[in-house]
Amino acid sequence: MKVLILANNDGGLLHFRGELIAELVKAGHEVVFCIPSGELVPEIEKLGASFIDNPFLIRRGTNPVDDVQLIRFYRKVLKRIQPDIVFTYTIKPNVYGGILCGKFGIPYLVNITGLGTAVENDGPLQKLTLGLYKLGLKRAQVVFFQNEANRDFMLSRGIVGNRCDLLPGSGVNLQRFRLLDYPKDDGVIRFFFFARVMREKGIEEFLEAARQIRGRHPNTEFHVCGSCEEEYRGSLEACEKDGVVIYHGSVKDVREMHALSSCTVHPTFYPEGMSNVLLESCACGRPIITTNRPGCREVVDDGVNGFVVKQRDAEDLISIIENFLALSYAEKREMGLNGRRKVEREFDRQIIVERYLKEMAVIEEAKEARR
């Protein structure tokens, strides 16, 4: 079969869908991916897939003229490639790709990787976005959601019908993110923040916790890994200058950081699909501290492989970090091992690959029956 993948960036496609692409190619399918050009495109091509550059997809753009150009481009791509099946990821490919696939009678699978702030916040933009979603998802072979809350919200609004299913997020590659030895007991406890440095990811709460905890417990370190939005550059630099945090910038291979980490702190209130930060941390055997948000709460069993904190509450985060510090070395290590066991049971990426292959088999059988 000829498979066309519509997505919005190279990083997400390689890191979270690379195993699926490799499996499709191995099975003899022709795979074409259409995304904006990026430095990781050659790595995706090495998996055996063909690339179509999409210069019209502006991820956070809201200009209707840009979206019209994107729709026209997708129309040309579909007519030229004539795929047997299309996989779509993220909102614009899901909506505009879905509308066109439905119009042309092309089977397509939709993956809702998170609803985003446009849907989560009430207002005209939410109504517009939900209306577009309803059109885009109308004729999908299946709509995959990454958490129950997203699925139930879209069902309650009548945006999707019964042809929807749950996936364990994007899963985690358990071979790439292997269980790491817990850091030796050298007297220093290291907390890591892995995310884009922005308000919705909980950076303000993390920095406040770091400042207070460092004052009480000089044997702690707080590390920040991720690109920094301009509005936080000054405060982050000031915290680093004061010895409150250590900033690593964007990290190419987070496994090197996990090897040093005692615990991952992810105090997000961003509308996640399923947090890859938490999945990768658990896979490496690291305890996690995170919020009771959809996409986070599914990964943490409170008191077993980590702790749950209140959203936007620095004082609660400080209290929970104090609780973690009070654990013995053996208890911290066991908490990390519990996380590894959890992702092995529930979040192996192969689960997602097999689910896609199952849907493809249904489409292939239907195609054969029509011949």
Task: Going residue by residue through the chain, which has 371 residues, state the pLDDT in tens, using 9 for 90 and above.
Answer: 999 999 999 999 999 999 999 999 999 999 999 999 999 999 999 999 999 999 999 866 567 788 999 999 999 999 999 999 999 999 999 999 999 999 999 999 999 999 988 898 889 989 999 999 999 999 999 999 999 999 999 999 999 988 899 999 999 999 999 999 999 999 999 999 999 999 999 999 999 999 999 999 999 999 999 999 999 999 999 999 999 999 999 999 999 999 999 999 999 999 889 999 999 999 999 999 999 999 999 999 999 999 999 999 999 999 999 999 999 999 999 999 999 999 999 999 999 999 999 999 999 888 888 77
- β-partners of residue 324 are none
Closest CA to 332 of 209, 177, 191, 221: 191
> At 74, which amino acid appears?
Y
d(CA 123, CA 142): 28
Strands 220-225 and 263-266: unpaired
Phi-psi region of 266 (alpha: psi -120 to 50; beta: other; left: phi over 0): beta
d(CA 195, CA 289): 14
Is the CB of residue 7 less than 8 Å from the CB of residue 93? yes
Q: How far apart are the first and last CA of the chain?
A: 15
Is the CB of residue 270 less than 8 Å from the CB of residue 327? no
Longest Cα separation, the chain = 73
- pLDDT for 60 equals 65
Closest CA to 6 of 122, 101, 124: 101
Question: Three-state secondary structure along the chain?
Answer: CEEEEECCCHHHHHHHHHHHHHHHHHCCCEEEEEECCCCCHHHHHCCCCEEEECCCCCCCCCCHHHHHHHHHHHHHHHHHHCCCEEEEECHHHHHHHHHHHHHHCCCEEEEECCCHHHHHCCCHHHHHHHHHHHHHHCCCCEEEECCHHHHHHHHHCCCCCCCEEECCCCCECCCCCCCCCCCCCCCCEEEEEECCECHHHCHHHHHHHHHHHHHHCCCEEEEEECCECHHHHHHHHHHHHCCCCEEEECCCCCHHHHCCCCEEEECCCCCCCCCHHHHHHHHCCCCEEEECCCCCCCCCCECCCEEEECCCCHHHHHHHHHHHHHCCHHHHHHHHHHHHHHHHHHCEHHHHHHHHHHHHHHHHHHHHHHC
Structure tokens at 368: 């054969």
- pLDDT for 24 equals 98
Is this prediction's pTM over 0.75?
yes
Any idea of the CA torsion for 240, 244, 246, 249, to the nearest 10 degrees? -60
d(CA 2, CA 7): 16
Structure tokens at 35: 């995304």
Write down the residue that tokens 């239907």 correspond to. Answer: 366
d(CA 305, CA 187): 22
Residues in the chain: 371
> At 336, which amino acid appears?
G
- pLDDT for 141 equals 96
